[in-house]
């Protein structure tokens, strides 16, 4: 103790081999999973990395094929169905990838961040509710951050100025029976400042005035469509959203205030039948009642997923499990489809030039698609092919691209003009970020949303703010 100050002596010890292995991020394990057949690899990544990381400690414990088959069986009850052939192939591949017994090579150790990658302020606000499973976050018109909870069915609101987190459970719609999981999925701010939500399981779309707390709810009949998903607004402020399980595009007619659904194209008559609501509901019921653990067709459900609107007001969307994107012309009510050279086009966004920036979820890449040229351009990410981007966002100020390193505990910032990527390492492990939202002060917001949330380091979901700091060399020169 000297002049009122305390000196704290510390001693750093090298991590043991086992401690080191526990520290490594999921993507350095996932990149070791070697499968020669692209279709098999993509099927596995879509079904078995859909909601969580693959390669984090709790995902690599099986030590024999029977244990992996048990894992596949449990995931099948969450509708993650693999073909029998893929189960056999992947069990062998996973056992080999995660084998670090004596004499076997260890995963690579990512280099420590340097330079601009270290010039960042990252702040976390953790939910105290360990049962909650945060999905999307969005900045509100009041400067507060809104998050949706897929398990607890609640809206959470963070005030960054006071660090207060509150539950808006009193706003829960009463449109469905208590035993129906509402599955809050998406939140987005509308051009008029209202916050919109999809209750995917409850088949509801809702609009909230955050200042009056008045909520308006639109119901979708389960016989018309199932699982409203991601939302965006066109230049007129009209809402558009994907309806995932029944492969549809939805909107709310501004004149009649009614929900309108359009059936998206499919690749086959079998896909058309499987995404017809009565049959879809039957398949969901059968899977919940019987021991169905495999599928004969891994692409049976196209999965209408991401959505965004280009400056020419075309409604673009992705079919996550169908290797396709497309757009809807709202004037002619016609669909136009484009095959992708990669698997798993997920939550994409458009830039000011009308280009689409698309996460290739199964391939660990990001693609730019230029509709005017019908051209796809791949961009390698620094985290490598073991990573996967669930969502990305285009900063409206400069058209740079922010991408979730959903399997690498990172957030990446891509400059399309130079191809340079800055990788910001997140301070928490097993994060699986989902949606990205920008605040007026230049900060970037996301959430830690690995499912189940207890697998996140610390045991619960987290609000996350990323604030890049000024380049020190530039500041010094000025």
DSSP 460: S
Helix axes 65-76, 38-48, angle to 10 degrees: 60
- Residues with Cβ within 8 Å of 40's Cβ and at least 6 positions away in sequence, in order, are 85, 86, 89, 90
pLDDT of residue 476: 43
Which of 221, 337, 328 has its CA nearest to residue 271? 337
Question: Which tokens in the block code for residue 38?
Answer: 């692209």
Condensed to tens digits (0 to 9), the pLDDT of residues 179-229 reads: 889 999 999 999 999 999 999 999 999 999 999 999 999 999 999 999 999
Most distant CA atoms of the chain, gap in Å: 80
Q: What is the pLDDT of residue 291?
A: 87
| pLDDT for the residue numbered 4 | 65
Determine the distance from the C-alpha atom of residue 245 to the mean position of all C-alpha atoms in its chain, rounded to a whole number.
Answer: 16
Q: Give CA–CA dist 175/184, Å, rounded.
A: 14
Over residues 325-342, the pLDDT tens digits come to: 999 999 999 999 999 999
DSSP string, 323-358: TEEEEEETTTTEEEEEE-SSS-B-B-EE-TTS-EEE
Is pLDDT above 50 for 244? Answer: yes
Residues 197 and 192: their CA atoms lie apart, in Å, by: 15
pLDDT confidence band for 100 (50 / 70 / 90) = very high
pLDDT tens readout for residues 284-294: 899 888 889 99
Kindly indicate whether the domain formed by 115-470 is annotated with CATH number 2.130.10.10: yes
pLDDT of residue 3: 60
pTM over 0.85: yes
Per the prediction, the chain carries an average pLDDT of: 94
Number of CB atoms found within 10 A of residue 386's CB: 22
Q: Compute the distance between CA of residue 167 and CA of residue 180 in angstroms, rounded to an integer.
A: 20
The DSSP line for 79-96 is T--B-HHHHHHHHHHHHH
pLDDT confidence of residue 8:
84
Q: Report the pLDDT value the prediction gives residue 478, as an integer from 0 to 100.
A: 43
End-to-end CA distance of the chain: 40
């Amino acid at each position: 103790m000297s002049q009122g100050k305390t000196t704290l002596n510390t001693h750093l010890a090298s991590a043991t081999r086992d401690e080191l292995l526990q520290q490594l991020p999921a993507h350095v394990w996932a990149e070791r999973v070697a499968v020669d057949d692209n279709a098999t690899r993509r099927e596995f990544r879509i079904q078995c990395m859909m909601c969580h990381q693959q390669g984090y400690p709790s995902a690599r414990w099986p030590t024999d094929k029977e244990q992996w088959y048990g894992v596949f069986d449990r995931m099948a009850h969450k509708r993650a169905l693999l073909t029998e052939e893929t189960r056999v192939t992947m069990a062998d591949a996973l056992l080999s990838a995660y084998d670090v017994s004596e004499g076997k090579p260890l995963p690579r150790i990512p280099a420590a961040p340097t330079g601009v990658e270290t010039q960042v302020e990252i702040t976390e606000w953790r939910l105290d509710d360990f049962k909650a499973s945060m999905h999307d976050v969005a900045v509100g018109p009041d400067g507060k951050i809104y998050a949706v909870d897929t398990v607890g069915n609640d809206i959470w609101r963070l005030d960054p100025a006071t660090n207060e987190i509150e539950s808006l459970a009193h706003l829960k719609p009463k449109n469905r029976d208590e035993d129906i999981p509402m599955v809050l999925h998406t939140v987005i701010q509308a051009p008029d400042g209202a916050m919109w939500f999809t209750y995917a399981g409850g088949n509801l779309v809702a609009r909230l005035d955050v200042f009056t707390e008045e909520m308006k709810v639109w119901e979708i009949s389960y016989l018309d469509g199932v699982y409203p998903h991601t939302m965006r607004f066109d230049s007129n402020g009209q809402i558009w959203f994907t309806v995932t399980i029944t492969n549809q595009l939805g909107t709310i007619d501004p004149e009649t205030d009614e929900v309108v659904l359009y059936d998206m194209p499919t690749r086959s008559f079998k896909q058309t039948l499987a995404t017809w609501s009565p049959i879809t509901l039957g398949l969901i019921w059968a899977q919940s009642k019987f021991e169905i653990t495999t599928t004969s067709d891994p692409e049976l459900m196209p999965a209408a997923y991401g959505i965004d609107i280009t400056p020419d007001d075309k409604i673009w969307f992705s079919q996550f499990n169908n290797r396709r994107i497309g757009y809807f012309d709202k004037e002619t009510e016609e669909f136009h489809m484009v095959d992708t050279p990669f698997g798993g086009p997920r939550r994409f966004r458009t830039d000011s030039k009308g280009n689409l920036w698309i996460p290739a979820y199964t391939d660990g890449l990001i693609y730019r698609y230029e509709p005017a040229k019908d051209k796809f351009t791949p961009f390698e990410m620094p985290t490598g092919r073991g990573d996967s981007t669930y969502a990305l966002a285009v900063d409206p100020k400069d058209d740079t691209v922010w991408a979730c390193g959903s399997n690498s505990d990172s957030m990446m910032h891509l400059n399309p003009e130079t191809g340079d990527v800055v990788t910001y390492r997140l301070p928490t492990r097993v994060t699986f970020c989902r949606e990205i939202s920008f605040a007026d002060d230049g900060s970037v917001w996301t959430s830690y949303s690995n499912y189940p949330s207890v697998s996140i380091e610390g045991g619960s979901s987290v609000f996350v703010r990323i604030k890049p700091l000024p380049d020190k060399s530039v500041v010094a020169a000025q």
